[in-house]
Amino acid sequence: MSSTIGQLSIQRPRFNHVYLQNISFHLPKQVRFPVLPLNSHVPVPVSSISPFGSSRLLVCKCASEKFSGSFERDPGQEYGLDSNQTVKQKKASIVEILKQSNSILPHVVLASTVLALVYPPSFTWFTSRYYAPALGFLMFAVGVNSSEKDFIEAFKRPYAIFAGYVGQFVVKPLLGYIFGMIAVTVFCLPTPLGAGIMLVSCVSGAQLSNYATFLTDPPLAPLSIVMTSLSTATAVFVTPMLSLLLIGKRLPVDVMGMVSSILQIVIAPIAAGLLLNRLFPRLCEAIRPFLPPLSVLDTAFCVGAPLAININSVLSPFGLTVSLLIVAFHLSAFIAGFFLSGFVFHKAPDVKALQRTLSFETGMQSSLLALALANRFFQDPLVGVPPAISTVIMSLMGFSLVMLWAKKKE
């Protein structure tokens, strides 16, 4: 059943009054229009009632913002954000851009590598005396974004800590020995180069692995820090034994120097970040957006400087072959850490995050320490070529995985 169709005319008078005239519809009986309450502050004159059968239905609409798009605006009326809201939005967008700086880290690392190869003086000023403060700043950033509860929870996972230790000082040295022998027997490279590859596999974990874990799985960053700190603390005994076993030369590692390094690079910066976060939370909230871009710049220097300083060794006649072997070594370590941890902890609720963490721990090590040991205790300079190349390759591969896994999580 239907009624005749009229015409709808809408006028825009002064004082925002809305007049509805001669409204009729083709609708079934079952359809009923809700009667909207009239706003006492906005008068809405209604001049027509349309018949539906034997009854009459009053249809009225209030002039509101929801229907403002159907009418032309009053002169001088503004529907946009006010100036304060616009400023707040701009500030929020700048903060978000700063926080997202970590997403370009792999590209920055690659750019710093190319710049170090093309123009070494751009990084040669960043000598080894700056490494400890630079790595310490990365640990400070982790501390600011963590709490003491996170580290307490990390110590509640002894099996994961032990697995990381095995990856550092069992799996990785075995891979280093294999690729060191391949370098000498298959590619007929000089023995010092094979010894350099083995030396890389004997040192402790890298602090960059903690930062990589923080970028991909922030809740597990304290666990990664505990793993790296444990391997670094025991490296004063384990690294000389492994070097004697694999290379045939016992390296007298400086125990006090190692302890000092742990305090400067790991413990003190993280403690400072945690303390600042506990006592001055508003200050931490203010500086957090600036930490990602500064950390990216910091990492770029930590990668580009060793390459620029050791550019002659990297560009030596054996540089390409050694680079390929170092790539294969690190790739094997990343893969071994990922799949072995997945096999051992397959029932863990956060198994994927744990796999990524242990992959970083196994695939990334303190190549700078290996380079320092090579330059100090080996007369042949070729021993230092693999550690110098490893510093760059390890960083590029590690932060490429950061970008890959971060995109997969999104």
Average pLDDT over residues 74-98: 50
Average pLDDT over residues 147-162: 87
> Per residue in 207-245, pLDDT tens?
788 888 988 998 898 899 889 888 877 887 888 888 888
Please state, for a pLDDT cut of 90, what percent of the chain lies above it.
Answer: 24
> Which residue type, as a one-letter code, is found at position 193?
L
Question: Residue 268's pLDDT is what?
Answer: 86
Residue 34's pLDDT band (boundaries 50, 70, 90)?
low
> If you average pLDDT over each of 69-78, 86-95, 189-198, 250-259, which comes out highest?
189-198
Instruction: Please give the full DSSP string across 323-383, using - where no structure is assigned.
Output: HHHHHHHHHHHHHHHHHHHHHHTTTSTTHHHHHHHHHHHHH-B-HHHHHHHHHHH-SSGGG
Res 376 pLDDT > 90: no
* CATH annotation of 139-407: 1.20.1530.20
What is the pLDDT averaged over residues 320-347? Answer: 94
298/290 Cα distance (integer angstroms): 12
DSSP state of 20: E
pLDDT averaged over every residue in the chain: 76
pLDDT at 96: 61
Asked which of 129-138, 160-169, 179-188 is least confident by mean pLDDT, the reply is: 129-138
pLDDT at site 151: 83
Q: Which residue has the higher pLDDT, 105 or 253?
A: 105
Count of C-beta atoms within a 10 Å radius of residue 29: 9
Cα–Cα distance for residue pair 258/237, rounded to 1 Å:
11
